[in-house]
Copies of this chain bind each other. A is one copy, B any other.
Amino acid sequence: MIKNKLITSRDEDFAKWYTDIVKQAHLAMYSGVKGCIVFEPYSYAIWENMQKVLDTKFKELGHENVYMPMFIPESLLKKEGEHVKGFAPEVAWVTQGGSSPLDEKLCVRPTSETLFCEYYAKAVSSYRDLPKLCNQWCSVVRWEKNTRPFLRTREFLWQEGHTAHETAKEAEEETLRMLNVYKDLFENYLAIPVIVGKKTEKEKFAGAEYTLTVEALMYDGISLQSATSHYFGQKFSKPFDVKFLNRQNQLEHVYQSSWGTTSRMIGAVIMVHGDDNGLVLPPRIAPKQVVIVTIKNTEEVLAAAKKLEAELKEAGVRVFVDDSEKSAGFKFAEHEMKGVPVRIEIGPRDLTENKVTLARRDTNEKMDCTLGDVKNKTLTLLDDIHNNMFETALKRNQSKTYICKTMEQAKEIINNKPGFIRAMWCGDEECELKMKELRGMKSRCIPFKEEHLSDTCIVCGKKAKHEVYWGIQY
């Protein structure tokens, strides 16, 4: 495979490779404000496709979209103690409106629990008003020190679901249900295999009873927290006084969940699937699934390209023709950089043989295809590519997942070949902190499907309570 010269090799310098791709595939540009990026049309189109999958699913499950203000008064943010402690150090503050200083400073929402609670306190009075199943698409701001396009930016795009229920059981079911919506998105649309589980007390969301998480592993063995779903119980409804008259005619505080995922998913797609020629996009969220490249713009070639385009559009494929006057090689490289899953090449010689060439982006394999077979072959290929991308990532994850029983093993691995480390843990935060001394490694989650790897905690040797996935994170 010939490497594209515009980008660094990913095995040489992964960080540089990543920013090269962001630039060369026209995904994002830096803005004048540190840590804030411009989502260019191509990354925004990927985001829109992700949104569509999720939004459709949310609505099928009975959720409704709302829009809350972007400003939170300081006093409101402070109502729940753990929550404000978690977020206050990293918010942006508005202190001036027009030419006058404000009486109370307003933070630009880092997340909207407080606003949803204030709303539910007014909107809910009886069990008949429950459940409230709301979601919002918006941007949020967290004044991070170290930023990287898509993965960690001061402003990012996300959705945040906030629900209120009659019973703890319903709220907990919702928490799990929504985690599985994310798992489905990652595996069946983004072709990214994930580990699902529960965060430790130390790593849970500020103010939650517990946090469920979807964790993915990037090509370089670094993990990415990709989506989370929190069970709040009554931890917010009590300080915000969100009460309802229950079926026993008594006032009770609602039980809540919240769940979200962000534009960092775009970063995950780049880092899991990309290669030395650029992006490799999963077909189900690729803005363009197929590009038809004309090798030479004869009348016959152009007509055949248009005909194929119409046929594929008809079949629901996102397809376009590149009949620009650039050389075929240049066009190939451009669409490879952009990660278009399938390329169809048509030239005058192909037409005399009544065929085209299909090239798949994931494996770079090329194959002949008679004109009449293009539609069916392409549809099959799009599914094959998805499956192959998923399998490739899964195999890589497996090869980068290590069972460790001693700290020496863990240290050796994390220093030389990072990935997920599976190890037993006693449940003490102190041991988590000790693990962190190894290159800042954190617990990713206690997996839903725990195995008994050994009897003792990898750190302290005391009786183990849980299997934990550990890893360095983006």
Binding site for B on A (CB under 8 A): 29, 31-33, 36-41, 44-45, 47-48, 64-73, 76, 89-99, 105-106, 108, 115, 118-119, 122-123, 134, 138-139, 141, 143, 154-155, 157
Contacts and interface: CB of A to CB of B under 8 A. Distances in A.
Contact of A134 (B41, B64, B71): B41
A147 to B, nearest CB: 12
A123 to B, nearest CB: 7
A41 B123 CA distance: 12
A70 B69 CA distance: 14
Given A71-B92, A89-B99, A94-B94, 13 more contacts: A31-B118, A32-B72, A36-B69, A38-B119, A39-B68, A40-B123, A41-B66, A44-B65, A47-B67, A69-B155, A70-B155, A89-B98, A93-B96
18 contacts: A29-B119, A31-B115, A32-B73, A32-B76, A32-B118, A33-B69, A38-B69, A39-B68, A41-B65, A44-B64, A45-B65, A69-B155, A70-B70, A70-B141, A91-B97, A92-B96, A92-B97, A108-B108
Given A64-B45, A95-B95, A123-B29, A71 B143 contact: no
A29 B67 CA distance: 11
Contacts of A33: 69, 71-73, 106
B115 A68 contact: no
A54 to B, nearest CB: 14
Q: Give the most central of A40, A47, A92, A118: most B CB within 10 Å.
A: A92
A79 to B, nearest CB: 11
Given A90-B98, A94-B92, A68 B141 contact: no
A31 B69 contact: yes
| Ranked 3 nearest A-B pairs via Cβ | A41-B64, A36-B69, A39-B67
Contacts of A154: 97
A129 to B, nearest CB: 11
A396 to B, nearest CB: 31
Contacts of A123: 29, 40
A68 to B, nearest CB: 6
A38 B96 contact: no
A70 B32 CA distance: 11
Contacts of A67: 38-39, 44, 47, 139, 157
Nearest to A47: B67
Given A89-B99, A96-B93, A36 B71 contact: yes
Given A29-B119, A31-B118, A123-B29, A37 B69 contact: yes
A94 B93 contact: yes
A356 B106 CA distance: 54
Contacts of A68: 31, 38-39
